[in-house]
């Protein structure tokens, strides 16, 4: 019997070797198509049973060219690069990595918020230019007197709420999809309008959907407190960049921290790169030595679990009926059956 085939796409900064070894040792033939180009992916994965993807778009057109694929495993918590409706229609599994960088992104969001509050980039600039504290005219506000507002209250936001609780005076959140039965003590539950109007730091933690894209627009910024701040470690298209720049230019917002952008990387002349009230990081909130290992190993473990048991560890799309390819099957080279 031929070996099952797994293809890993667009690893970018990740080292695919640990995932390749894990699947190879289990009897898979593993190929790496280190590209987002659908032509490259289709040519490499034409006979693949499993597809492990980074940011590459997996849509109906690509799936038409991958007739044997039965599982798509993403190398991220987000799975908006996959047309999940189309995958469900075709009876495919789709998995994500809900826990790989939860702590890392939450810590990055907290660090970004505190850096904004403490005016650390401005303080750094004063010293580097030869000045001292009499030249530092940015007076920070005390965090224990401020409200941290969380838009979305999933795993990352809940971790952020827990680690930020000793620092901020009040933490509030909005999430229309969260269950009230497991809402933690110490986090006030508010409607979106009340949250936006009451937060000193507003941190975004919601996926990119038709309803949320562009939600941080001129109208939302106008409802925020004068002098408040925005943190986005979630998805770049949640924020209208021109509206954000206008709110910073007017002084209505005193600062913002962005780890994600509508276009990545932003163009060299993009004003987001140079605005003095913006604190930027290169989509690196997830980045630690531990998360880098998890991002390649956990998708491979999802594929291996699917092959050996019929079900991956962390599915986000579950086929209504298992197809023959999704049944455990014996493979060569000593792989689990």
Active site residues: 235, 264, 283
Distances in Å between the Cα of 334 and the Cα atoms of 8, 22, 133, 212 are 22, 13, 67, 47
Question: Which of these, 296, 243, 251, 290, lies nearest to 271 by C-alpha position?
Answer: 243
Distances in Å between the Cα of 219 and the Cα atoms of 46, 278, 313 are 47, 20, 41
Question: Which of these, 291, 287, 312, 293, lies nearest to 19 by C-alpha position?
Answer: 293
Per-residue tokens: 2? 């031929």
Residues ≥6 apart with Cβ < 8 Å to 4 = 27, 28, 29, 49, 50, 307, 329, 331
- Measured in residues, the chain has a length of 337
Cα separation, 263 vs 196, in Å, equals 25
Residues ≥6 apart with Cβ < 8 Å to 184 = 158, 161, 162
Percentages (nearest 5) of helix, strand, coil residues in the chain: 35, 15, 45
SS3 62: helix
């Amino acid at each position: 019997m031929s070996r099952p085939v797994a293809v890993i796409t667009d690893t970018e900064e990740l080292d695919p070797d640990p995932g390749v070894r894990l699947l190879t040792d289990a009897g898979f033939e593993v190929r790496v198509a280190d590209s987002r180009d659908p032509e490259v992916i289709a040519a490499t994965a034409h006979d693949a049973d499993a597809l492990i993807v980074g940011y590459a778009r997996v849509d109906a057109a690509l799936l038409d060219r991958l007739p044997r694929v039965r599982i798509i495993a993403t190398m991220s918590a987000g799975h908006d690069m996959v047309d999940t409706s189309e995958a469900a229609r075709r009876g495919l599994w789709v998995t994500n990595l809900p826990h790989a960088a939860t702590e890392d992104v939450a810590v990055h969001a907290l660090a970004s918020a505190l850096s904004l509050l403490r005016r650390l980039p401005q303080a750094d600039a004063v010293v580097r230019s030869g000045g001292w504290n009499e030249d530092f005219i940015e007076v920070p506000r005390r965090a224990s007197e401020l409200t941290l507002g969380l838009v979305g209250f999933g795993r990352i936001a809940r971790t952020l709420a827990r680690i930020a609780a000793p620092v901020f005076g009040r933490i509030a959140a909005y999430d229309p999809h969260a269950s009230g039965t497991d809402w933690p003590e110490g986090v006030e539950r508010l409607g979106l309008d009340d949250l936006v109007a009451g937060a000193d730091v507003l941190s975004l933690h919601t996926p990119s959907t038709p309803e949320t894209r562009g939600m941080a627009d001129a109208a939302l910024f106008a409802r925020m407190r004068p002098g408040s701040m925005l943190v986005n470690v979630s998805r770049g298209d949640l924020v209208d960049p021109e509206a954000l720049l206008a709110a910073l230019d007017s002084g209505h917002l005193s600062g913002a921290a962005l780890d994600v952008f509508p276009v990545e990387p932003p163009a060299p002349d993009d004003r987001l790169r140079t605005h003095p009230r913006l604190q930027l990081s290169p989509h690196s909130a997830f980045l630690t030595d531990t998360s880098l290992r998890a991002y390649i190993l956990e998708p491979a473990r999802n594929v291996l679990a699917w092959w050996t048991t019929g079900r991956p560890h962390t599915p986000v799309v579950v086929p209504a009926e298992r197809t023959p390819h999704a049944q455990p099957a014996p493979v060569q080279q000593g792989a689990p059956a």
